[in-house]
């Protein structure tokens, strides 16, 4: 019996020839990540366990992205604790304001993750890096503290779910639509503690930005990780971004006779843009079945859809148009580099002329942080990843999820709409 790509990565990091689903292993890590919410908890746990030094100051990333620039005194104090710890431990990858971005956009962009890596982060969307053929998963702050001290973590080897996407992607349909359609089919527990492995010709046609989006939202199906095989598009991305020589990485492929707990096929040829209704990412409808849903706010950004491709799609739709008078349009690029590219390519002018507000890179409203909190009774359409009760503000508000094309068109229409409706 062969092994999946996830099983091969875990076996290599555990120093074993092979591993089986359900097996408990200790595995060496290549990178540990925390942000301004989770790092202070991890630092306290690190101190409490009597640790003195991190295992490798070059393999820890601290990113103040949730409430930064500091929205209040508590946020400033949490970032100060991170900053002091980074200085004390000589941590290489502390991303100060002005250099930081949304962590799951920033780390791949800075070449800190590559194929075959094992990455743990005290943030559930750490699974994003599976787009590069890495095993990456979220952990609690206490587990992260142990990983920072020891350079390893414990894991239960997940079963694998093989998801194949066939056909040709229609216009305006991208990674967000594929993952929403998938979650709509299997539910928010359909991939519980599984490795969601994305394959097929439609995946081969998908951009890296689209793959990051899909891997990012694997956790919304309850998955342990989402993962893609490395192909020519991955290698081209890595050539532009890797901090290390690509030859230092190990790329793995699933064996033809690998065992999967379930295999599913999705034909994307006739797929419409997808919209997740409140209050679950699985409450998905195709755009043609949305009906008349008026909006108060649209958010384009986040670790799910704050990349350059998302900004390009939004700009192409907003060019020459105005945001509906009733709608607040908030655009949040995923990093400083993307912000700079938006300026160079003229997207910033398009967004400002469309009467959008453009924020520095931050998680901001996605988690109900700031830069777009909802009042009671308000509705937002967002390119973010979660739409739980109270996720973006008041518990009596509503959040709908969609890709950047639907988000931009909806900002103009004042209701949930697609580009063709304009």
CATH fold of 274-421 reads Aconitase; domain 3 (3.30.499)
CATH fold of 5-266 reads Aconitase; domain 3 (3.30.499)
- Average pLDDT, whole number, for the chain? 93
Residue 248 confidence class, pLDDT cut points 50, 70, 90? low
Q: With helix as H, strand as E and coil as C, how does 145-188 read?
A: HHHHHHCEEEEECCEEEEEEEECCCCCCCCHHHHHHHHHHHHCC
Give dist(CA 134, CA 111) in Å, integer.
13
| The token pair that represents 318 in the structure block | 């907003």
Q: Are 177 and 271 in contact (CB under 8 A)?
A: yes
Give dist(CA 280, CA 180) in Å, integer.
11
pLDDT tens-digit profile of 20-40?
A: 999 999 999 999 999 988 999
Residue 239 confidence class, pLDDT cut points 50, 70, 90? confident
pLDDT tens-digit profile of 71-93?
A: 889 889 989 999 999 999 999 99
Nearest Cα residue to 75 out of 17, 103, 114, 35: 35
Residue 389 confidence class, pLDDT cut points 50, 70, 90? confident
pLDDT tens-digit profile of 49-67?
A: 999 999 999 999 999 988 8
Give dist(CA 265, CA 162) in Å, integer.
8
What pTM does this model have?
A: 0.92
pLDDT tens-digit profile of 337-360?
A: 999 999 999 999 999 999 999 998
**Residue 97 has what pLDDT?**
86
pLDDT tens-digit profile of 286-341?
A: 999 999 999 999 999 999 999 999 999 999 999 999 999 999 999 999 999 999 99
395: pLDDT strictly greater than 60: yes
Give dist(CA 198, CA 256) in Å, integer.
15
411: pLDDT strictly greater than 90: yes
| The token pair that represents 203 in the structure block | 């995946």
- The CATH 3.30.499.10 portion of the chain extends over 5-266, 274-421
The size of the chain, in residues, is 422
CB-based burial label for 270 (10 Å; 0-12, 13-18, 19+): exposed
Q: What would the DSSP string read from start to end of 334-391?
A: SBHHHHHHHHHTTHHHHHHHTT-EEPPS--GGGGT-SSSPBPTT-EEEESSS---TTT
Give dist(CA 94, CA 45) in Å, integer.
19
User: Quick one: average pLDDT of 176-183?
Assistant: 97
Q: Which residue has the tokens 């100051």?
A: 57
Give dist(CA 259, CA 159) in Å, integer.
9
Interior CA angle at 209 toward 369 and 351, to 5°?
60
Interior CA angle at 270 toward 168 and 310, to 5°?
65
Percent of the chain scoring above 70 in pLDDT: 98
**Residue 247 has what pLDDT?**
59
User: Quick one: average pLDDT of 260-274?
Assistant: 95
pLDDT tens-digit profile of 146-172?
A: 999 999 999 999 999 999 999 999 999
Element (H, E) at 180: helix 175-186
């Amino acid at each position: 019996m062969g092994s999946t790509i996830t099983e091969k990565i875990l076996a290599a990091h555990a120093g074993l020839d092979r591993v089986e689903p359900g097996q408990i292993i200790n595995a060496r890590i290549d990178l540990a990540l925390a942000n301004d919410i989770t790092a202070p908890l991890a630092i306290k746990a690190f101190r409490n366990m009597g640790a003195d030094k991190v295992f490798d100051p070059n393999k820890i990333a601290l990113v103040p992205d949730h409430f930064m620039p500091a929205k209040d005194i508590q946020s400033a104090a949490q970032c100060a604790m991170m900053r002091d710890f980074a200085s004390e431990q000589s941590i290489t990858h502390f991303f100060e304001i002005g250099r930081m971005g949304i962590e799951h956009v920033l780390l791949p962009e800075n070449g800190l993750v590559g194929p075959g890596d094992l990455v743990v982060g005290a943030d559930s969307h750490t699974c994003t890096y599976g787009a590069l053929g890495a095993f990456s998963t979220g952990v609690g702050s206490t587990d992260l503290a142990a990983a920072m001290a020891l350079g390893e973590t414990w894991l239960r080897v997940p079963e694998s779910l093989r998801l194949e996407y066939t056909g040709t992607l229609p216009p305006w349909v991208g990674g967000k639509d594929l993952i929403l359609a998938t979650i709509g089919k299997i539910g928010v527990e359909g991939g519980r503690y599984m490795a969601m492995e994305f394959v097929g010709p439609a995946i081969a046609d998908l951009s890296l930005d689209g793959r990051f989006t899909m891997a990012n939202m694997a956790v919304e199906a309850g998955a342990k990780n989402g993962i893609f095989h490395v192909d020519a598009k991955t290698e081209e991305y890595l050539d532009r971004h890797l901090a290390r020589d690509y030859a230092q990485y190990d790329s793995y492929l699933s064996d033809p006779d690998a065992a999967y707990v379930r295999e599913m096929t999705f034909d994307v040829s006739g797929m419409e843009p997808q919209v997740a209704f409140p209050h679950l990412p699985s409450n998905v409808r195709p755009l043609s079945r949305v009906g008349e849903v008026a909006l108060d706010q649209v958010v384009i950004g986040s670790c799910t859809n704050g990349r350059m491709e998302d900004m390009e799609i939004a700009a192409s739709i907003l060019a020459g148009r105005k945001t509906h008078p009733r709608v607040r349009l908030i655009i949040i690029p995923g990093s400083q580099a993307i912000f700079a590219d938006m300026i160079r390519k003229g997207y910033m002018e398009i967004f400002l002329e469309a009467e959008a507000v453009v924020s520095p890179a931050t998680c901001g409203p996605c988690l109900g942080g700031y830069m777009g909190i909802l009042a009671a009774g308000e509705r937002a359409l967002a390119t973010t990843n979660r739409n739980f009760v109270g996720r973006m503000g008041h518990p009596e508000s509503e959040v709908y999820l969609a890709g950047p094309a639907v988000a931009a068109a909806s900002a103009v229409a004042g209701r949930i709409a697609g580009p063709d409706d304009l």
